[in-house]
Amino acid sequence: MIDFSRRQMLQSVSCGFGYLAFQGLRARSVQADSIGGIGGLASRTTPHRAAAKRVIFLCMSGGPAQLDTFDYKPQTGNKKHPGSVFQFSQHGECGMWISELMPETAKHADRLCMINGMYADTGIHAQSFLQLHTGERLRPRPSLGSWIHYGLGTENENLPGFISLNTSKSSTYSSSFLPSIYNGTPIGVNGEDMSLATIKNVSSGHLSEASKRRQLDFVQSMNHRHLAGRPGDDELESVIRSMELGFRMQSSAPDLLDITDETQVTLDAYRVGKKLKVGTCRPTDFGRQCLLARRFAEAGVRFIEVNHGGWDQHKNHRRDLKANCETVDAPIAALLRDLEQRGLLDDTLVVWGGEFGRPGLTPEDGKDETGHNPNGFTFWMAGGGMKRGHVHGSTNETGARAVEGKVHFRDLHATILHALGLPPNDLTYFHQGRAHRLTGPEGGSVVHDLFA
C-alpha cells in the first residue's frame, strides 16, 4: 500500500483546488481582532457609511512623469527647469489641465479628482512600490487589497474578494500574516496576453461536478478532523474556507475571463487586441485587463488591481512616455465611461498612480532622460464619493516637491479605507503580540477635501 502524506493527497485531488488553498497555509500563531474577525468571505457591515463598495487600482509601475501627464508646469525659459515638454490644454467644465498625451482620459476631466501633492519616503523602486501596496517599505505586510477584503468580505462568495491582473510581485497581493483567505488571486504575469491568462488550478473537466464535490467533501472531512485537534487555529479554518472557494470558482471564474460575449464596439473601445510596441516599451494587453476589471467589479469583487509596467523611463523620455500613454489612455477612458453608463462609477473608486514621479527634463545637456522623484507626484481618483473635476494640492514651480495639500501613501490608504466605510486607523489585526494596521504606527489622515 502506498503511503500518501496529507500534502501529497491535496496536491493530487481534482483540479488542484485542495493544494491551491493549502499552499497558503503558513506556520504561525495568529488571532483575529474585534473588527470583523475571521468572517470568511461574507459581506460585512461597515462602522460608518460607505461612499464606495469596491476599488479598481490602475497601477502604473515604474513612476509616471507627472509634469508631462497631469501636473502642468509652463515653460519659463529656465534651462535647468524647463517645465512640461508636451503640450497641455484645459478640459471639461472644470478647466482641468491635462497633457496632449492623454486625450481620451481628458474627456473625463469632469469625473477626475486630481491629487498633485503626493509624496513618498524613498525613490527606490522596490521599496516605494511595496510601501504603495502595503504601507511598509522594508518588510512583508498585508497588501491594501487584502486589508480591504479582510474588512469588507466580498459581494460574491463564488469569487475572490481581491484579484490582481498582470502582476509580477507576489508581495503586492499577499495577505502576509492575515489569514490566507484574504490573499489576492493573481491572473496573468509580466505582460502576459490576458486572453491566454487563467486562474491556476481552477479549471478542469476530467471529473463531473458531483465527483468533484464528493472528492472535496472527503478531503474536508479530514481537514475538520485535523481542526478538531487544533481548536482556535484560525489559519487552518481559513484554508478550509479557501478550498470551498476554489471549488465554487470553477463555475464562476472561467465565464468572467471569457469576453466573447462583449460587443465589437466594446472591444474596440478598450483597444482589445490592438497592441503597441514602440521603442523599449513591451507590448501589453492593457485594454483587456481594464475590461476584465469592469467585469470583476460587476460580479462583486472588492479590489481589482490592473498593472501596467514600463514607466521607469530614464532615457528616450519623450518617445517612451508617449508610447505608454497611448497604450493606457483609451482603455482607461473606456473603463470610466463603461462604469458610468452601467451605474457603477458612483460606488466604484478608481485610483490611478505609481510608486513615485519624475523630475522635469534638463535639456541643456542634450539628454532626453529623467530620474526618480518621490517628493512630489500625481495620483488621481474617480467615482466612489470623490469630488468631480477637482484638483487637490500642488507641487512647487518646478514640480520637484509637493508644497500644498500634501498626501503621503499613508494618507492615501486612509482615504481609500474611509471611502469604503472602514476606520483607517482602527482596522487592525493582532499578530506576534501586537495590533497591526495598514496605516502603520504613524497612522494616516483621511483627506476629507477629496470627498464630494
The residue whose grid cell reads 519624475 is: 358
Count Cα neighbours of 388 within 13 Å in the Cβ-side half-sphere: 14
Q: Which residues pair with 352 in a beta bridge?
A: 58, 380
The residue whose grid cell reads 458610468 is: 340
Domains of the chain, start order: 42-209+250-450 (3.40.720)
Task: List, in sequence order, every beta strand (DSSP E) within 37-157.
Answer: 54-60, 88-91, 96-99, 112-119
Q: Which residues pair with 297 in a beta bridge?
A: none
Q: How far is CA 203 from CA 166, 183, 216, in A?
A: 19, 19, 15
Q: What is the pTM of this model?
A: 0.84
Return the H-helix or E-strand segment holding 391: strand 390-392
CB atoms within 10 A of CB 201: 18
Which pLDDT does position 41 carry in this prediction? 67
Which pLDDT does position 6 carry in this prediction? 45
- Which residues 6+ apart lie within 8 Å of 8 measured at CB? none
Which pLDDT does position 300 carry in this prediction? 92
The residue whose grid cell reads 496536491 is: 11
Which pLDDT does position 82 carry in this prediction? 78
Which pLDDT does position 194 carry in this prediction? 56
Which pLDDT does position 249 carry in this prediction? 61
CB 227 within 8 A of CB 233: yes
Residues lower than pLDDT 50 in the chain:
1-39, 191, 279-281
Please tell me the total number of residues recorded for the chain in this structure.
452
C-alpha cell at 166: 498582470
